[in-house]
């Protein structure tokens, strides 16, 4: 009976140690959820030579971010294309149509990171990943700043993309290049 109790204790202790190690690894690798209502996914593009500002809401997804181990960081986020807002309801309805974002057939704009690297500046990182709009995927890279505080991180980035790479807008009066401005609040 004593031998059985000792074996049982050894097995139980191994399980406890394994679970403790698993929890330590999981907590060391911080997972964040973007706060859609606080995050901003905006863009600026010229139309007839004038700047048009717009944005999307309802950012969702998962962010794994550890500034001490950026090689394991990952971002998998998307916005609802139907939430496009340029402060002009007629223009917004037009942008939801097939020639532009075709929200009926492609309801999400999706980004998945493939790598994150630390730059020489503290708190500044280089993100590479795949941006998908209207089932057109393109590799993009851009720098971003991460500002951690308590149980949250604010990610900020500004970069440019070409709308024609994603078959958005066809032959319209808007410029080909647009600027994307991100201000993403993420919490554990």
The domain 29-187 belongs to what CATH superfamily? Lipid/polyisoprenoid-binding, YceI-like (2.40.128.110)
Distance CA 63, CA 60 (A): 10
pLDDT in tens, 55-104: 999 999 999 999 999 999 999 999 999 999 999 999 999 999 999 999 99
Q: How confident is the model at residue 3 (pLDDT cuts 50, 70, 90)?
A: low
| CA-closest candidate to residue 177, choices 129, 77, 169 | 169
**CA 8 to CA 52: how far, in whole Å?**
69
Is residue 121 helix, strand or coil?
Answer: coil
Tell me how crowded residue 147 is: count the other CB atoms within 10 A of its CB: 10
- Cα torsion angle, 27, 28, 29, 34, sign: positive
95: DSSP letter: H
- In the prediction, which pLDDT does 23 show? 40
pLDDT at 17 over 90: no
Q: What predicted TM-score, i.e. pTM, was given to this entire model?
A: 0.83
> What is the DSSP-derived secondary structure letter of residue 58?
-
Model pLDDT for residues 154-163, shown as the tens digit of each residue: 999 999 999 9
């Amino acid at each position: 009976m004593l031998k059985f109790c000792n074996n049982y204790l050894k097995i139980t202790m191994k399980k406890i140690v394994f679970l403790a190690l698993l929890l330590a690894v999981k907590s060391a690798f911080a997972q964040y959820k973007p706060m859609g209502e606080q995050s901003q996914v905006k863009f600026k593009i010229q139309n007839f030579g004038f700047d048009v500002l717009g944005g999307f809401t309802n950012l969702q997804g998962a962010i794994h971010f550890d500034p001490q181990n950026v090689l394991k960081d990952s971002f998998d986020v998307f916005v609802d294309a139907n939430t496009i807002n340029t402060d002009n309801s007629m223009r917004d309805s037009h942008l939801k149509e097939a020639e532009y974002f075709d929200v009926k057939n492609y309801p999400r704009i999706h980004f998945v990171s493939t790598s994150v690297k630390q730059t020489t500046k503290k708190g500044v990182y280089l993100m590479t990943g795949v941006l998908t709009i209207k089932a057109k995927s393109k590799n993009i890279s851009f720098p971003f700043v991460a500002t951690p505080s308590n149980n949250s991180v604010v990610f900020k980035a500004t970069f440019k993309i070409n709308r024609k790479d994603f078959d958005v807008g066809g032959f319209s009066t808007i410029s080909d290049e647009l600027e994307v401005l991100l201000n993403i609040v993420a919490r554990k």
